[in-house]
């Protein structure tokens, strides 16, 4: 006999684990020194969230981007988003331990706030960077991609945290198991 079902009490820890990955992705994006942007031709110019460098081999001339208000705004939005994400992670663990519907919805609201802050930051950066630099073509690197990855994980987890109150009995293991397929 073949029976298949979803074990909600065991699977409920996947969401906090995804939030932990989002935290790690955000830390990588914020702390990356190798750059968010680099030129395509000679690899002679790159910029991270904090600074931009020009040169070749060992001769790099680095200047801070923190003199620009847009770079300060990007850094502030990313760091505030990371702090809210850490709070959402802690609240999600508490919510999953006690299966508290208000805490699940509060976590979803925090994740929506994180996503909004980080989307704004991740859009401001390329627009203002391209206004500042006029020559050549530039590629956005893996560090910038980690920022988007964390944001996408936050959006997905926010949707799932909004859906979880419908499955309160399953999460508490009070509901009868629903099998996807049963043979006669």
Q: Whole-model pTM above 0.95?
A: no
Residue 1 included in any domain: no
Nearest to 19 by CA among 102, 101, 114: 114
178 HSE (CA, 13 A, CB side): 7
Q: Specify the pLDDT at position 171.
A: 64
Query: Does residue 62 fall inside a structural domain?
Result: no
Inside any domain, residue 48 = no
Q: Is residue 156, in this structure, part of any structural domain at all?
A: yes
Buried residues in 143-177 as b, exposed as e (16+ CB within 10 A): bbebbebbbebbbebbebbbebeeeeebbeeeeee
pLDDT-above-70 percentage for the chain: 82
**Residue of 46, 45, 36, 109 lying closest to 75 (CA atoms):** 36
Q: Supply the pLDDT for residue 96.
A: 84
Cβ-based neighbour number of residue 125 at 10 Å: 25
Q: Residue 24 is part of which domain span?
A: 10-34+68-135+143-172
In a domain, 24, yes or no: yes
Does residue 45 lie in a domain region? no
Contact in structure between 170 and 8 (CB atoms under 8 Å): yes
Residues of the chain with pLDDT under 50: 1-4
Using one digit for the tens of pLDDT, what is the confidence trace for 7-53?
Answer: 566 667 888 999 999 999 999 999 987 778 887 765 777 788 888 88
With respect to residue 83, please indicate whether it lies within any of the assigned structural domains. yes
Give the number of domains in the chain.
1
73: in domain: yes
Cα(26)–Cα(134) distance, rounded to whole angstroms?
A: 28
């Amino acid at each position: 006999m073949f029976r298949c079902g979803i074990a909600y009490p065991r699977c409920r820890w996947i969401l906090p684990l995804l939030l932990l990955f989002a935290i790690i992705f955000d830390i990588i994006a914020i702390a990356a020194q190798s750059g968010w942007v680099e030129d395509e031709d000679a690899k002679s110019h790159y910029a991270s969230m904090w600074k931009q460098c020009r040169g070749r081999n060992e001769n790099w001339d680095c200047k801070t981007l923190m003199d620009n208000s847009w770079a300060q705004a990007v850094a502030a939005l990313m760091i505030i988003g990371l702090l809210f994400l850490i709070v959402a992670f802690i609240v999600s663990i508490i919510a999953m331990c006690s299966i508290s519907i208000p805490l699940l919805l509060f976590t979803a609201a925090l994740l929506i706030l994180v996503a909004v802050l980080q989307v704004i930051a991740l859009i401001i950066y390329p627009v203002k960077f391209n206004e500042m630099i006029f020559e050549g073509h530039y590629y956005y690197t893996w560090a910038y991609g980690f920022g988007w990855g964390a944001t996408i994980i936050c959006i997905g987890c926010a949707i799932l945290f909004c859906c979880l109150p419908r499955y309160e009995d399953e999460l508490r293991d009070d509901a009868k198991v629903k099998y996807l397929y049963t043979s006669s």
